[in-house]
Amino acid sequence: MYLEDPGIYYEIYGKGRPVIILNGIMMSTSSWMAHIERWQKKFQVITFDTRDQGKSARITDKPYTIEVHVEDLKKLVDHLGLKKVNLMGVSYGAQIAELFALKFPEMIDKLVLSNATDHIDNYLKSIGQAWKVAAELYDGEKFFDISLPYIYSRSFYNNNYEWLMNRRKIFKETLTKDWFDSFIRLASSNETFDIRNEISNITAKTLFISGEEDIITPKSQMIEMNKKVKNSLLANLENTGHALFFEKFEEFCLLVEAFFNYD
């Protein structure tokens, strides 16, 4: 389904408590199919592609910041007639969720912030720059070689290398110039993201989920975020990296289900 203005593609599954899922920067609605199959039996799952992701519209006429997605999310929530929502954001999506919770606190019930950060430090900015350089090669295999080792844990790489190399071939076959150009714009949109002085104003019940081996949004930063958000919990998963929602599928799903279904 489409919200024509601003050109947002979204999908809805199941019934019950509405949970909106916010994608990581390289993801789309299709990235969540295994989770949706499970979660739609427990609550209403709403997925959507931000602009410059998946099937949503592209922003090619001007530079933008991550805040544009916050306004788009507000339009989607209003379009669906929802007064209060639960948000589950991963990485880039967690940043959108944080900003939404700060701007529209009255519309938030609960938050799950997985592999999140409250600012882009110089190290993370440098990773983003490396990703953009890789994207500018317009080659799926080279993009995979440069970008993906940051995302998965060392143990996942060692135990799933054949699967990863198959993914490398898929990147080669499916990533288009339009995808790369869109990714470059997304990767440029959050370079000034910094809510360290505001994050303590989040009042919604919040669950932080960190990965022990995550070098992109390290556990140490999420511990500090947990301390700042008064009404929050922190769960840390061992032997996993930035893609813990995939690497530790069962554990991740159980955490999200328990948090959203517990009052």
Q: Tens digit of pLDDT for each residue in 158-214?
A: 999 999 999 999 999 999 999 999 999 999 999 999 999 999 999 999 999 999 999
Q: What pLDDT, on a 0 to 100 scale, did the predictor assign at position 35?
A: 98
Superfamily of domain 1-120+193-259: Alpha/Beta hydrolase fold, catalytic domain (3.40.50.1820)
Question: What pLDDT is stored for residue 136 in this prediction?
Answer: 98
pLDDT of 102 over the 80 cut: yes
* Element (DSSP H or E) covering residue 206: strand 205-211
How many helices and strands, by DSSP H and E, does the chain display? 11, 8
Sheet containing strand 18-22, edge to edge, reads 2-3, 8-13, 44-49, 18-22, 85-90, 108-114, 205-211, 232-237
Cα separation, 158 vs 52, whole angstroms: 32
As given in the structure block, the two tokens for residue 246 are 């995939």
> Which H or E run includes 188?
helix 177-189
Please report the pLDDT score of residue 262 as a whole number: 83
Instruction: Indicate the pTM of the whole model.
Output: 0.98
Q: Model confidence over 121-135: pLDDT tens digits?
A: 999 999 999 999 999
Q: Report the pLDDT value the prediction gives residue 201, as an integer from 0 to 100.
A: 98
What pLDDT, on a 0 to 100 scale, did the predictor assign at position 263? 74
Give the per-residue pLDDT at 162.
98
The DSSP bridge partners found for residue 233 are 207
The three-class DSSP label of residue 210 is strand
CB atoms within 10 A of CB 192: 10
Query: What is the residue extent of each domain of the chain?
Result: 1-120+193-259
- Residue 62 burial (CB < 10 Å; 0-12/13-18/19+)? exposed
Mean of pLDDT values over 68-96 = 98
- Return the percentage of the chain with pLDDT > 70, whole number: 100
Of residues 204, 183, 83, 107, the one with CA closest to residue 138: 183
* pLDDT tens figures, 11-29: 999 999 999 999 999 999 9
Mean pLDDT over all residues of the chain? 97
- Could you give the dihedral angle defined by the CA atoms of residues 257, 260, 252 and 123, in that order, rounded to the nearest 10 degrees? 170
